[in-house]
Amino acid sequence: MNAQSVRASAKETWPALPQSAWSDTCATLLLWMQVVGKVRLALVPPINHSWHVTLYPTVRGVTTTPMPHGTRMVQIDFDFLDHLLVIETSEGARQSFALEPMTVAAFYSKVMSALDAVGAPVCIWPTPMEIPNPIPFEQDRTHHAYDPEFAHRFGRVVLQTMRVFTTFRAQFRGKVSPIHLFWGAMDLACTRFSGRTAPEHPSMPGLPDRVTRDAYSHEVCSCGFWPGMPGIEPMFYSYAYPEPPGYKEYSIGPSSGSYDKNFGEFVLPYEEMRQSADPDATLLSFLQRTYDAAADCAKWDRAALDVDSALVGK
């Protein structure tokens, strides 16, 4: 992507992100992020709800943040402006390579070689998670697409979503997760907790039971952005676990998404939000009303947990 197209895209707060235009790149990028995410999984001590494995938005793309490697720290960044993968250590070592069309096998080899070159070798389990019929990274020559324009758009959408989610996150004084990207499905998420324990969560495809049950050990209302997959367009989502009686019937308003029985959660199509008169307000309304649904139906202690929106930022 040349400098002119970067400037043009940057003028659009919420760029178009149709799955049909970048589904191959989306699928490849998901697997590349799984490679990097598994490096983080290997290096960072376990933290409740799997918060040690997540990635985070930056102004240029997505990062692991610093990860311990002995007494040194190593960090891996996806740069969607210059289209680089950058690996750096706290001692100043640096390796990078271009993000461009290449197989998952080639990307995996480059990441492992770059980690060796900076003196931070890592061994990971090289099989993707949360996807059907996974191909081990070193054998995957099927996924190889990379469209820099849409990688840049994805990075912008994630960053803008983080901006709005941060406003929403500030309106809760209870336990709440960071705003982070789960590389299993490449979704950006933020989770609120009521403080009460939850019943044991049923098994989920592609995840060990111990991971699922730790993630949902307590009652939650979780929201996020998912870029979709072939045949499914990008969307914002919100769900409650355990789902309380009356939740799916709760009215969240005529222009703020709806409950999808197939997904078992409230959804707001990204394009619907993007085309609304005030996208930020539309998204915030969806987040607030779906939280209202979870908290009211499950009888959360809202007087103790909620922050008056008029006080946010003061």
Which among 179, 178, 216, 212 has a CA at the least distance from the CA of 194?
216
pLDDT computed for residue 123 by the predictor: 97
Q: What is the pLDDT of residue 253?
A: 83
Note the pLDDT of residue 310.
Answer: 60
Q: Which residues of the chain register pLDDT less than 50?
A: 1-10, 314
pLDDT attached to residue 309 = 67
pLDDT at 271: 97
Nearest to 80 by CA among 159, 170, 198, 167: 159
**What pLDDT does 177 receive?**
97
The span from the CA of 230 to the CA of 23, in Å, is 6
Give the pTM.
0.93
At residue 311, the pLDDT reads 56
Q: Which residues pair with 312 in a beta bridge?
A: none
Please give the pLDDT value at position 6: 45
Q: CA–CA distance from 33 to each of 142, 174, 184, 218 (Å)?
A: 16, 30, 8, 28
Residue 210 exposed, middle or buried by CB count within 10 Å (0-12, 13-18, 19+): exposed
Give the pairing of strands 218-226 and 187-197.
Answer: antiparallel
Taking alpha carbons only, the member of 132, 147, 142, 162 closest to residue 54 is 162
